[in-house]
Structures are given as structure tokens and as C-alpha cells.
A and B are shown apart, each in its own frame.
Chain A
Amino acid sequence: MSVSPRKSRRLPKMWLSILSIVGFFAAWQAIASAQVVPALFLPTLPSVLEALRAGAADGTLFVDIGVSLFRAFAGLLVALVIGVLAGFAMARVRIVRWFCDPVISVLFPAPKIAFLPVVILWFGIDHTSKIMIVAVSCVFPIAIAAYEAARSINPFLVWSALSLGASRAKVQWAIVLPACGPSLFAALRVAVPVALIMAFTSEMVAGGGGMGATLMYSQRFFESPTVFAYILAMLVVGVLMDRGLLAIQRFTPSLSDQV
């Protein structure tokens, strides 16, 4: 009964959305080709597509994407290992919790990008410094999520495993970690965009290859089509990462909230 009117109302909504995106690009192209603003400020759509094609053809675009993604995910991995260990330790050991709690509450709201010069001083301007700044940015949300999840775990699961002869270490690995899967995955969905932002931003500030560095380089030489092409590419990478995580969650029941 209520299906048919809703369907007929949904259809124009979808068309409006498509129209909105098409309209966005049409307006862009119209303004750019009418030379309302100089091409330096707003290059035409074909020139941006040409810059994308050129980057894809000689492989620089994919190398840059690969370098940035490598830094983002290596940093994320470091943050995940340290964050989960710290979070579980905080949930299990009182003195660790007492020690880490104020340190985290001071450092968590701090803008981590401010530490970039320190990381550069310690690790140079190549991969390591970018990986470390990503790790520093992502470790706090992951540690907090791991702590909250490990604390709210059903104690019967732990007691049962212990009474059946599992060691304490085995309980953490075989009971606590899987039980925290959904929460940790939710934290990961927060951390992935942060990792991408920090990788791009540190490349923009410090150079050393990757999408951010090429973006800044193109801007300095006023190659506007490349600037726009790289921003579009970053947008696509960001959306794909988020959709990819959602797909992983959908096809992995142990990571999904709905049990």
C-alpha cells in the first residue's frame, strides 16, 4: 500500500541528485570556458581530464597514490598495534589506566600536525616521518576505542575461558580481541580518513613525494589543471576507502555491529 507512492516520490529525488552533480560540472565548465575567471583560477573540465589522463598514462598519478596510501596504511598499522595493546593494558591493569588516562586526555585534543617538525627532526623527511605522524594521529582514537570495548566485554566469556584452562595471554588474544572486533572496526572507520588527511598534509608541508607533494608542486608552478586533477583524485581515493571499509564490514559478520 505504502510502497507505490514512496517509490514514485523517490524517483524524482534520485534524478534531482544526478542533476545536481551534472549541474555542478556543467556550471564549472560554463564558467571556465566563458573565461569569467582566468584559466589559472578555474581550468576547463577537459584540461583537468587531460591532466588526469597524462598522469595516469605516465604512471606518476598511480605512483603518487601508492606512496601516499603506503604511508597512510603503514602509520595506521603502527597505530592499530600500539593502540590496541595500550587500550587492552589500560582495561586490564589499573596502574596503566591511572598513568595513561591523563596523558591521553591532554594529547588527544592536541592538533597532531603541530608535532610534524618534531617527527621530521627525529625521522627525516622521507617515509618514516610521515608514517610516524599518521601513527601519532591515529593511535589515540584507536586506544580509546580498544579500552572502552575491552572494558565492556561480557565477563562470563573471560571467566569461562579461564575456567577451561586458557592462559591470560590466550584470553586477550582469543576472547577479548574478537569480542572487540566491531568497536575496533568502527574506530578504524574514523581513523582511515584521519590517516589519509595526515599523509596528504605532511606531504604538502614537508614534500618527499606522494599526492600532497605533487599537489603543492603543481600549485607552485601554477599548473592549475594538475592541481584540480589531484584534488579530484584525492576525493575519489577518500570515497573509495570509505566504501571499501563499509563493504568489508558488510561481508565480515564478526566485524559487524548487528550480531
Chain B
Amino acid sequence: MTTARRNVRDRLGWVVDGILPIAILVAAWQLFASIGAINEAMLPSPYGIGLALFDLATGPEIRENLLVTLYRAFGGAALGCACGVAVGIAMARSEAFDAVVSPLVSATYSLPKTAIVPLLILWVGIGHTMAVLAVFLTCLLPTVVQTYHGVTATPNVIVWSARSLGASRREVLWHILLPHALPDILTGIRVALGFSFVVAISAEMIASTAGVGRLIFMYGENGSYAYMFAAITSVVIVAFAADRLLLLLSSRLLSWHVSQRGGHS
């Protein structure tokens, strides 16, 4: 009896634990909106937002603007992460390079990256290049720092063993240092991806002619709040999906790693 019940609970567990609380929240929100406890001009009802979301989902507006934002976020993030890993490895492998670059990295690490948006507007104008560059610079630093940390944390014994067994420097890099640094690199990439969406949207809100950040702001300025909330909801959904996807990907990539053994996959 208990096992059967437990089976049902296991299978429906994600509904009870994952969906139900959010459903309760939305239902309560709808209830308060229906009885007029919430001013619709300040907070539209879930029903109204749902209608707007459906309208947006069937039209081209949100799709095109979301694609523009995603293109900027992922383009900038891909460039930033690739360069970040390269710079991080170079810093970890060459003391001279480290000495030259690390003061610049540590000085700019705590600079709010959106502060360079006005500078980029001056330099390259408003558009794709500005947003991609802003995202690129944002994603660069966390990947540099995490890669550097991961590579330098590789025990010398492993590197020396490989060298003494005849591995070339390139082989050491590919087969020893990179795999060892992979968990740290993935942490850096996760941080960078989180930033990438934020910075792309921020850049669009500050100055842009396209993108979901500008779209949200435009709906807000026009007073079409149901559409504004619908656009925000779509952003929340995309960000959540991207985060889950990355978690899944990193647990796949790290399935061989100690941290995954015995833990949940």
C-alpha cells in the first residue's frame, strides 16, 4: 500500500513540489484581482496578462525582439567566454602575462559593466555592436577569473607526471589542465550567462531601437501594462529555461567528475 502510494507521489512529486506553489500564488493573485482588491492599473490580473501573453506569442513582435536580445546576449557571451578561457589559461601558464593582466582584471572586476554602455554608445553608436560589446566585456571577467583559478589549482604532481611520461605542453593543456579546470570554467560560464541576459536587457533599456528590454519599456510608457507584464513573463520563462539547460549540460559534461559521484545527477 505504502509503496504504491509512494510511487504515485514520486511520479507526481514534481507537480506537487514544483507547480502547485506557483499555481496557488497565481490563483490568489487572480482572486484578489477579481474581487477588486488589486488596482488593475497597477497590477493586471493573471487572466489579463495571460491573454496578452497569448496575443504576443501568436504575433511576431515578442518573438522578433526576444530573438534580437538572445542573439546579443548569446553572441556576446560566447565571445566573452571563449576569450575569457583563453586569457585565463594564458594568465595561469605565464607569470609575466599574469603580472601584466591581473591588475587590469582586478581593477575592472568590480566595475558595474553597464557603466561602459554610455562609452560604447559614444564609440560604436546604438545597435547590435554596442549591446554585444557590453555583454562581451561583462562575460569576459568571470570566465577569466574562474579559468585562472581552475588551472592554477591543478596539482603540480599530475602535471609533472604527465610531462615525465612524455606528454607535450599542448597535451598537458588539453588532457590535464582543461579537464581539471572544467568545473570552475562552467561555474564562470554560468555566472557569465546570467549576466549576459541582464546586461543585454539593460543596454536595450538604456538606449536601443530593438530588443525585449526596449519592448518592455515601450509598453510601460504607453500604459499597456498587461503587455508589459506579459513581456516580462516571457523574459522570466526564457531565463529559467536557459538556466535549467545549462545545469543539465554541465551535469552531463561533468558526469565523470568527483562532485557528481553519489550526488543527484
| Chain A residues in the interface with B (C-beta under 8 A) | 9, 12-14, 16-21, 24, 40-41, 98-103, 105-118, 120-122, 193, 196-197, 200-201, 204-205, 212, 215-216, 218-219, 222, 224, 227-228, 230-231, 234-235, 238-239, 241-242
Contact B99 A110 (CB under 8 A): no
Among B21, B24, B114, B121, chain A packs the most CB atoms within 10 A around the CB of: B114
Cβ of B217: which chain A residues have Cβ within 8 Å of it?
A: 117, 205
Q: Contact check: which of A105, A116, A193, A235 meets B205 at CB < 8 Å?
A: A116
Residue ID in chain B nearest A224 by CB atoms? B122
Segment among B170-178, B229-237, B252-260 that sits at the interface with chain A: B229-237
CA distance A109 to B190 in the complex (A): 10
Residue ID in chain B nearest A107 by CB atoms? B236
Starting from the known contacts A100-B21, A227-B118, 20 additional A-B residue pairs (CB-CB under 8 Å) come to A18-B103, A99-B21, A101-B21, A102-B17, A102-B18, A102-B22, A103-B25, A105-B240, A109-B240, A111-B198, A113-B198, A113-B202, A117-B216, A196-B112, A200-B112, A205-B206, A215-B115, A224-B122, A239-B107, A239-B110
Q: Contact check: which of B117, B206, B228 meets A118 at CB < 8 Å?
A: B228
Contact B121 A99 (CB under 8 A): no
CA distance A18 to B99 in the complex (A): 9
Cβ of B8: which chain A residues have Cβ within 8 Å of it?
A: none
Cβ of A197: which chain B residues have Cβ within 8 Å of it?
A: 112-114
CA distance A102 to B103 in the complex (A): 41
Cβ of A40: which chain B residues have Cβ within 8 Å of it?
A: 122
A-B contact count (CB 8 A): 154
Cβ of A105: which chain B residues have Cβ within 8 Å of it?
A: 240
Contact A231 B243 (CB under 8 A): no
Please give the distance in Å from B49's CB to the nearest CB on chain A.
Answer: 12
Is the contact region of chain B dominated by helix, strand, or loop, or is it mixed?
Answer: helix
Q: Which parts of B7-41 form the interface with A (CB within 8 Å)?
A: 17-19, 21-22, 24-25
Residue ID in chain B nearest A228 by CB atoms? B119
Contact B239 A109 (CB under 8 A): yes
Q: Contact check: which of B100, B117, B206 meets A20 at CB < 8 Å?
A: B100
Among B100, B110, B121, B235, chain A packs the most CB atoms within 10 A around the CB of: B110
Contact B225 A41 (CB under 8 A): no
Cβ of A17: which chain B residues have Cβ within 8 Å of it?
A: 99-100, 102-103
- With A215-B118, A219-B121, A227-B118 in contact, do A117 and B242 touch (Cβ < 8 Å)? no
Asked if B144 CB lies within 8 Å of chain A CBs, one says no
Contact B115 A200 (CB under 8 A): yes
CA distance A235 to B121 in the complex (A): 19
Residue ID in chain A nearest B95 by CB atoms? A13
Residue ID in chain A nearest B198 by CB atoms? A111
Among A9, A113, A120, A228, chain B packs the most CB atoms within 10 A around the CB of: A113
CA distance A153 to B135 in the complex (A): 39
Residue ID in chain B nearest A20 by CB atoms? B100
Please give the distance in Å from B91's CB to the nearest CB on chain A.
Answer: 12
Q: Contact check: which of A114, A224, A228 meets B201 at CB < 8 Å?
A: A114
Cβ of A196: which chain B residues have Cβ within 8 Å of it?
A: 112
Please give the distance in Å from B189's CB to the nearest CB on chain A.
Answer: 14
Please give the distance in Å from B251's CB to the nearest CB on chain A.
Answer: 16
